[in-house]
Structure 1
Amino acid sequence: MTESRAATRNGASRCADSPAPSLHDQLRVATGAIHERLHHHSGFAAIQSGTIGKDAYTALLCRLYGFHHPFELTLPQVPDRTNWLTRDLIDLGVDPTALAALPRTAAFPVDASAEYQLGARYVVEGSALGGRGLARQLDGLLGINVTAGCRFFAGHGAETGAVWRAYLDHVSRVPPGASTRTAVVAGATRTFAIFEQWLEGWNDRHD
């Protein structure tokens, strides 16, 4: 009994001495499962394998436009991704009138807190890292080193890593506090869920 109580106290002491997980760690754990599912999304997988055709690729970008346009407008954010997707879709032959009529998700909360917005950015800033890898797999479809049609996945280009590190630095400076961290994590998990749901049926017209 005495040894058991001592072991419990020692275990509690070690736990007390262990550093609390960083907010970045919390975000990574909370979104790990859905991130893994999206990694295997059929559209992204087809780009990765070099098997996506022009019609399906255009359909995927249309779907992405329907996510990123309201995301950047509602939260709000600098509309980099909206602009990249707009140029890509026009280069791929989408008429500006048709572009303006594309469906858009209405799931983003209006007047979200700054903490929620920071968490939501975890989704789009993190996906940019994988986007650069996908951009390199589009040479067979668009042409080697062709920019037209590939701006969205190319993103910030060589600066993508620096942009991600700047975002993580912002995350690291979030003041401690359970409610604050909860809001940031909620922004990330909810935005991932919106993204996953929005991508369903992306290729219905081209299956």
Structure 2
Amino acid sequence: MSDVPSTPENPAALTILARLRAETRPYHDALEAGAFNESLRVGAPTAAGTAQFLERMYGFLQPYEAALRAHEGELGAAWELPQRYRAHLIPEDLGRSADDPGLPLCPTMPPLHTVPQLLGALYVMEGSTLGGQVINRQLERAGIPLRRYFSGYGERTGPMWKTFGQLLTAAATPATADEIVASAARTFQHLDAWINQP
């Protein structure tokens, strides 16, 4: 029996990673086209703009990581969640107190109550480790001090992303795939609204 063709018209035949890439692309592109991301990626980044972007990222990451911590047991050790937490790097980058950085938190987070919802959000936030390295190169060209947050996991960024993809592929089921994809889309939308708010 031949395999069912993997096409956008046949989402059940696509792997979870292929579905996530295809179905969240508009939300990913909208986030990257926002003023903050555009200036950091391909524009002329400034120290002040970089700091403001990091402040907004902290406001999203802190509640997102709190939700992940609450579900560490359900996800299991293979996900290496403690190594994937990065919010604490931002106060260091900004020269603020790690205990009380005095930064506002995003008031409208996507739902992060179930494992599929968390997996969708993880897809977005783990993907940002790849984009962060591009941003650090932009900062270097502009003569702005590099930020640890944008370094992702350093030399382990590629392997950590590959491991994440393997774990996500193994964890997704036909019963949870739609919820994972919907959560990723919502995460992009909420992050865009928070990062690129006027």
Asked if 1:81 is matched to 2:86, the reply is yes
State whether residues 74 and 109 of structure 1, in contact with CA within 8 Å, keep that contact through their aligned partners in structure 2. Answer: no
Residues 24-43 of structure 1 correspond to what in structure 2 (within 5 A)?
A: 24-43=17-36
State whether residues 35 and 196 of structure 2, in contact with CA within 8 Å, keep that contact through their aligned partners in structure 1. Answer: no
Asked if 1:119 is matched to 2:116, the reply is no
| Worse-matched range after superposition: 152-161 or 48-57 | 48-57
CA-CA distance at 1:111 after TM superposition:
6.2
Aligned to 1:63: 56
CA-CA distance at 1:184 after TM superposition:
1.1
RMSD, aligned α-carbons: 2.5
CA distance in 2, matches of 1:29, 1:190: 15
Q: TM-score under structure 1 normalisation? A: 0.76
Pick the structure with greater CA Rg.
1
CA-CA distance at 1:187 after TM superposition:
1.9
State whether residues 68 and 82 of structure 1, in contact with CA within 8 Å, keep that contact through their aligned partners in structure 2. Answer: yes
Percent identity over the alignment is 28
Q: Deviations over 1:133-153 (max 9, x none)?
A: 11111122324xxx5xx1011
Aligned to 1:9: none
State whether residues 75 and 108 of structure 1, in contact with CA within 8 Å, keep that contact through their aligned partners in structure 2. Answer: no
Q: Deviations over 1:171-199 (max 9, x none)?
A: 1112532x311121122111111101111
Code of the residue aligned with 2:58 in structure 1: it is Y
- Give the match's secondary structure for 1:187: helix
- Which blocks of at least 5 consecutive residues in structure 2 are unaligned? 7-12, 70-80
CA-CA distance at 1:89 after TM superposition:
1.1
CA-CA distance at 1:200 after TM superposition:
2.5
Aligned to 1:159: 156
Q: TM-score under structure 2 normalisation? A: 0.79
- Give the match's secondary structure for 1:142: coil
Asked if 1:18 is matched to 2:18, the reply is no
Code of the residue aligned with 2:188 in structure 1: it is F
Code of the residue aligned with 1:141 in structure 2: it is G
Q: Deviations over 1:81-131 (max 9, x none)?
A: 2111121011xxxx4399633211133367611121111100011111111
- Which blocks of at least 5 consecutive residues in structure 1 are unaligned? 1-12
CA-CA distance at 1:49 after TM superposition:
3.6
State whether residues 110 and 190 of structure 2, in contact with CA within 8 Å, keep that contact through their aligned partners in structure 1. Answer: no
Aligned to 2:75: none
CA distance in 2, matches of 1:111, 1:138: 32
CA-CA distance at 1:80 after TM superposition:
2.6
Describe the shift of the 1:56–1:173 C-alpha distance in structure 2 as closer, same or farther (beyond 3 A): same
Aligned to 1:3: none
- The size of the alignment, in residue pairs, is 179
CA distance in 1, matches of 2:34, 2:14: 29
State whether residues 75 and 110 of structure 1, in contact with CA within 8 Å, keep that contact through their aligned partners in structure 2. Answer: no
CA-CA distance at 1:39 after TM superposition:
2.0
State whether residues 27 and 189 of structure 2, in contact with CA within 8 Å, keep that contact through their aligned partners in structure 1. Answer: yes
Code of the residue aligned with 1:108 in structure 2: it is M
